[in-house]
Structure 1
Amino acid sequence: MKKTARIASVAAVIALGLSACGSRDDESSTADESSTPTASATTSAAAQQYPDFKACMVSDSGGFDDKSFNQTSKAGLDNAVSQYGMQEADVESTDPSQFADNINEMVSQGCNSITTVGFLLGDATEAAAKKNPDIDFSIVDFAYEKAPANLKGLTFNTGEPSYLAGYVAAAKSETGVVGTFGGLNIPTVTIFMTGFYEGVQKYNEDNGTDVQVIGWDPAKPKAGSFTNDFENKTIGQTTAEEMIKQGADVIFPVAGPAGLGGLQAAQDNDVKAIWVDTDGCVSAAEYCDVLLTSVMKGMDVAVQQAILDGAEGDFSNDVYVGTLANNGVGLAPFSDDVDAELQAKVEELKQQIIDGTIKVG
């Protein structure tokens, strides 16, 4: 199968789940995975088999059940293994101090492809790639100025769909205050928050309003709200509750499992929220009732494609960037709270971002 054909297949599949239009129906929390970004890169029953190829993964400290980026990335590995008859190995990290050792463990197990998940694994992944030039390495949420030939960055311009999410949040706010917080003050977190902030400003510009964003101002990054933790749900809940006390009635947590505490706070206080990385109505269905939408990254499809490229001998260190234009990022289906008029406006803004009329970030 030629690479151009595979990429077209990826775009066609992921577009189903990354559309910025279409309300979520009552069964969306249990939607068939084939209509979401967890769909696999190819649906061919005659997919080439690679039984001697071993695909492996190392998680960030959130683990593979984080209902967010580790879990979605792991789905890409699992899809590759099941569809192409590959061997598999993985290891979960519980602390950043384990990253290098966990990668080396995958090396020792004879992996042909190793995917690491998360910005914080950048240095350890690069070091391992340089020491093991015969292994293909991919890393989610990191890119290098000059990567080794066997190391590929899988990145996502989540600022674009976050801009759309910010516009929706501002439109749905009744108090005129929305809030966002992150796990750490790192680029892969703040890109969401900046896009969200700018989307709110666009709503104000269009409608002559003054919806305020608490928790983040790109002009004052040191004053942003961060839990400094991606695992502690209690910290996330406390952070969101403080924002709600300040009047926020839409919460946008960008903190992995800690962000689930933000959804809990929204649910407890009868306010709305927007999830990140994957469709929260699928990954965290217990909070679907408070979600307006989710900002999604097609990490699973990008991971699966990188693994398949390695098996087929097409692997390169060219950085992958998921955008609205290539359907690598987008919004999950909206809740019924987002009416058709607002959905149409979001679609208009999406097209303006794609054609360059609107610059995000």
Structure 2
Amino acid sequence: MTLTSRKTGLAGLATLGVSALLLAGCSAAPTGTNTTKAASNFLPCMVSDSGGFDDHSFNEIGLQGLQAAAKSLGVKEKHVESNTNDDYAPNIDSLLGQGCNLIVTVGFLLSSATDAAAKANPDVKFAIVDDGLDNEGATGKDGKPTGDGKVDVANGKPILFDTAQAAFLAGYAAASYSKTGVVGTFGGIQIPPVTIFMDGFVEGVQYFDKVKSKSVKVVGWDVTSQTGVFTGGFAAGVEAKTAAQGLLDQNADVIMPVGGPIYQSAAEAIKDKKNGTVMIGVDADVYNTDKSVRDILLTSVQKRVDSGVEAVVKAAASGDFNNTPYVGTLKNDGVGLAPFHDYASKVDSNLSKEIADIKAKIISGDIKVTSAATPK
């Protein structure tokens, strides 16, 4: 087995580019996968991005999916955590050296390292969360992805999510709950897996305004110009708290931070404000993963990375692996809106029914949710 060579400048986002998620022929979530054919020595493995497996977000739930699949198959698993972008290629190499049959990489930032490893090791299966593996993508002058939409490695499978659909529901809920008439969102890094949330959120607010004849303002992201507030990374810290504070200063009383642990700093800013502002989580149902923010959590936009990873691992173990993208949607329950939990009695009494009706219309196609980053 040949270990992949580390690509020059992996740590720089410029070398990563922006992979297009506009993919043709995407598959629905696999169901009823036959795992009886799984070899007892099948070894599924995973590499996190720099957010780590304790991010209460997509790395953590991705690992849960890997572990659930391994338990169901009766096999062991291996996983390794990345601390910086420089760790991606070496971590993949380490797992290759340990005989992994399938390596799942978690996050768009691992695109370059995953693509290189898959090409250098055609006998090993790879899957990546949030990247299309379409010639590693590219970015045009407008900042939009310009990849060709075709998975360029036979042994690589994208695991993608149309989170704009679920974020649309969150935007509608945010607009309904807002007392100030201003809601906001900000992101970690301006890449498609982040902006797809923000696009859907804004469109959901706009839909609320249309059907309710209201005028709720969104700060932090402009869909038309694709410009907004970003921290430059996914770590909690001063940058994330400052970004959240900027939205609060514009009178936003519902905020959706998009980018793993950055929500923790947004929560600090909200609690410092003590004015009744609430937060919307992303990826996991943050109510279940982080009890410390329950008191300010309205709901969460769920990207069920665990379900996608589990399905892909089981398919690979049973010999059903292919490079057709897995795409999570509202229809196949790959994305969704979490319950309102402690805020169930505080939202409008008709909101849950309205959300259910909107969800049904999105699934049927009566409501179109669009984003430059939507998987197709």
TM-score by length of 1: 0.85
Deviation of 1:286 (Å): 1.1
What residue in structure 2 maps to residue 350 of structure 1?
Answer: 359
Note if contact 1:195-1:360 (Cα within 8 Å) is conserved in structure 2: yes
What residue in structure 1 maps to residue 63 of structure 2?
Answer: 74
Q: Displaced runs of 4+ in structure 1, greater than 6 A?
A: 46-49
Larger CA deviation: 268-277 vs 112-121? 268-277
In the alignment, does 2:266 pair up with 1:266? no
Q: Give me the whole-angstrom Cα distance separating, in 2, the residues matched to 1:183 and 1:255.
A: 5
Deviation of 1:49 (Å): 6.5
Note if contact 1:54-1:111 (Cα within 8 Å) is conserved in structure 2: yes
Q: Give me the whole-angstrom Cα distance separating, in 2, the residues matched to 1:204 and 1:84.
A: 48
Q: Give me the whole-angstrom Cα distance separating, in 2, the residues matched to 1:199 and 1:9.
A: 33
Query: SS at the partner of 1:273?
Result: strand
Query: SS at the partner of 2:71?
Result: helix
Deviation of 1:304 (Å): 1.2
Q: Give me the whole-angstrom Cα distance separating, in 1, the residues matched to 2:117 and 2:251.
A: 47
| 1:308 aligned to which of 300, 310, 314 | 314
- In structure 1, runs of 5+ residues without a counterpart are 1-5, 11-41
What residue in structure 2 maps to residue 191 of structure 1?
Answer: 196
1:139-288 to 2 correspondences below 5 Å:
139-143=128-132, 144=134, 145-222=150-227, 224-269=228-273, 270-288=276-294
Residue type matched to 1:219 in 2? T
Note if contact 1:48-1:84 (Cα within 8 Å) is conserved in structure 2: no
Q: Give me the whole-angstrom Cα distance separating, in 2, the residues matched to 1:263 and 1:358.
A: 32
Note if contact 1:264-1:287 (Cα within 8 Å) is conserved in structure 2: no
In the alignment, does 2:345 pair up with 1:341? no
Query: SS at the partner of 1:64?
Result: coil
Amino-acid identity (%): 46
What residue in structure 2 maps to residue 13 of structure 1?
Answer: none
Q: Give me the whole-angstrom Cα distance separating, in 2, the residues matched to 1:160 and 1:267.
A: 29
In the alignment, does 2:335 pair up with 1:329? yes
Deviation of 1:8 (Å): 4.1
What residue in structure 2 maps to residue 114 of structure 1?
Answer: 103
In the alignment, does 2:257 pair up with 1:289? no
Deviations 1:141-197 (A, max 9, x none): 111223322110000000001001000000110001111000001000000000000
Q: Give me the whole-angstrom Cα distance separating, in 2, the residues matched to 1:307 and 1:264.
A: 37
Q: Give me the whole-angstrom Cα distance separating, in 1, the residues matched to 2:71 and 2:237.
A: 32
Q: Give me the whole-angstrom Cα distance separating, in 1, the residues matched to 2:202 and 2:295.
A: 24
Deviations 1:44-73 (A, max 9, x none): xx9777431111101011000001010010
Note if contact 1:233-1:259 (Cα within 8 Å) is conserved in structure 2: no
Note if contact 1:230-1:259 (Cα within 8 Å) is conserved in structure 2: no
Q: Give me the whole-angstrom Cα distance separating, in 2, the residues matched to 1:86 and 1:202.
A: 47
In the alignment, does 2:76 pair up with 1:87? yes
Q: Give me the whole-angstrom Cα distance separating, in 2, the residues matched to 1:7 and 1:191.
A: 23
Q: Give me the whole-angstrom Cα distance separating, in 2, the residues matched to 1:234 and 1:86.
A: 42
The change in CA–CA distance for 1:226 and 1:264 in structure 2 (over 3 A counts) is same
Deviations 1:270-289 (A, max 9, x none): 31110000101011121112
Note if contact 1:234-1:258 (Cα within 8 Å) is conserved in structure 2: no
Deviation of 1:307 (Å): 1.0
Residue type matched to 1:266 in 2? I
What residue in structure 2 maps to residue 317 of structure 1?
Answer: 323
Note if contact 1:50-1:85 (Cα within 8 Å) is conserved in structure 2: no
Q: Give me the whole-angstrom Cα distance separating, in 1, the residues matched to 2:237 and 2:262.
A: 4
Query: SS at the partner of 2:221?
Result: coil
Deviations 1:321-353 (A, max 9, x none): 100111110011113223440111111111111
Query: SS at the partner of 2:367?
Result: coil
Q: Give me the whole-angstrom Cα distance separating, in 1, the residues matched to 2:118 and 2:37.
A: 27
What residue in structure 1 maps to residue 49 of structure 2?
Answer: 60
Deviation of 1:262 (Å): 1.1
* Larger relative helix fraction: 1
Q: Give me the whole-angstrom Cα distance separating, in 1, the residues matched to 2:38 and 2:271.
A: 46
Note if contact 1:297-1:330 (Cα within 8 Å) is conserved in structure 2: yes
What residue in structure 1 maps to residue 23 of structure 2?
Answer: none
Q: Give me the whole-angstrom Cα distance separating, in 2, the residues matched to 1:75 and 1:339.
A: 34
TM-score by length of 2: 0.82
Q: Give me the whole-angstrom Cα distance separating, in 2, the residues matched to 1:96 and 1:182.
A: 18
Q: Give me the whole-angstrom Cα distance separating, in 2, the residues matched to 1:156 and 1:315.
A: 19
Deviations 1:72-120 (A, max 9, x none): 1010111122221212211111111221111111111110010000011
**RMSD of aligned residue pairs (Cα, Å):** 1.9
Query: SS at the partner of 2:331?
Result: coil
- In structure 2, runs of 5+ residues without a counterpart are 1-28, 135-149, 371-376
Note if contact 2:176-2:348 (Cα within 8 Å) is conserved in structure 1: no
Note if contact 2:177-2:348 (Cα within 8 Å) is conserved in structure 1: no
Q: Give me the whole-angstrom Cα distance separating, in 2, the residues matched to 1:119 and 1:168.
A: 28
Deviation of 1:233 (Å): 3.2
Note if contact 2:36-2:318 (Cα within 8 Å) is conserved in structure 1: no
Q: Give me the whole-angstrom Cα distance separating, in 1, the residues matched to 2:301 and 2:235.
A: 20
Q: Give me the whole-angstrom Cα distance separating, in 2, the residues matched to 1:316 and 1:205.
A: 42
